[in-house]
Amino acid sequence: EVELVESGGGLVQPGGSLRLSCAASGFTLSTFEMYWVRQAPGKGLEWVSHIHYSGTPIYYADSVKGRFTISRDDAKNSLYLQMNSLRVEDTAVYYCARDLGWHDAFAVWGQGTMVSVSS
């Protein structure tokens, strides 16, 4: 069964850091485009970052560029999001997602992990 499981969320103070993980099963993560998408409480969906199946290119939303870093560990079949200099407005549920393989639509989603940035 194809599955994505996120972890690593929590409560952090403004300016702090967190590292989110996304463990993939049922498929080889390095053969698909992978993404992070977030959703602030009561709000819509916002794309955060993307990593090509080859490892490059990597893209970020302007709102996180220079603060967030997406990476992948093929041996662990896992995706990561290192989040530094966190802001209150980064508070959201963070989802990892996988594309279809032939369309850049998000075909597989994790259950999400909550990140709360507050003093």
Partner 1 sequence: IVMTQFPATLSVSPGERVTLSCRASQSVDSNLAWYQQKPGQAPRLLMYGASTRATGIPDRFSASGSGTVFTLTISSLQSEDFAVYYCQQYNIWPPLTFGGGTKVEIK
- Distance in angstroms (rounded) separating the CA atoms of residues 70 and 82: 6
Please work out the total of residues on this chain that contact partner 1, with binding judged by CB under 8 A. Answer: 21
Give the rounded distance of the alpha carbon of 87 from its chain centre.
16
Closest CA to 38 of 101, 87, 103, 100: 87
Among 11, 40, 88, 100, which residue interacts with partner 1 (rule: CB under 8 A)? Answer: 100
CB of 24 closer than 8 Å to CB of 33 = no
Scanning 22-30, 70-78, 81-89, 110-118 for contacts with partner 1 by CB under 8 A, the matching segment is: 110-118
Among 59, 74, 85, 87, which residue interacts with partner 1 (rule: CB under 8 A)? Answer: 59
In order of 13, 14, 42, 51, 86, the CA distances from 117 in angstroms are 5, 6, 16, 25, 7
Scanning 18-26, 72-80, 83-91, 105-113 for contacts with partner 1 by CB under 8 A, the matching segment is: 105-113
* Cβ nearer to partner 1, comparing 84 with 109: 109
Closest contact distance (angstroms) between CB of 82 and partner 1 is 19
Residue numbers at the binding site for partner 1 (CB under 8 A): 35, 44-47, 50, 59-62, 95, 100, 103-107, 109-112
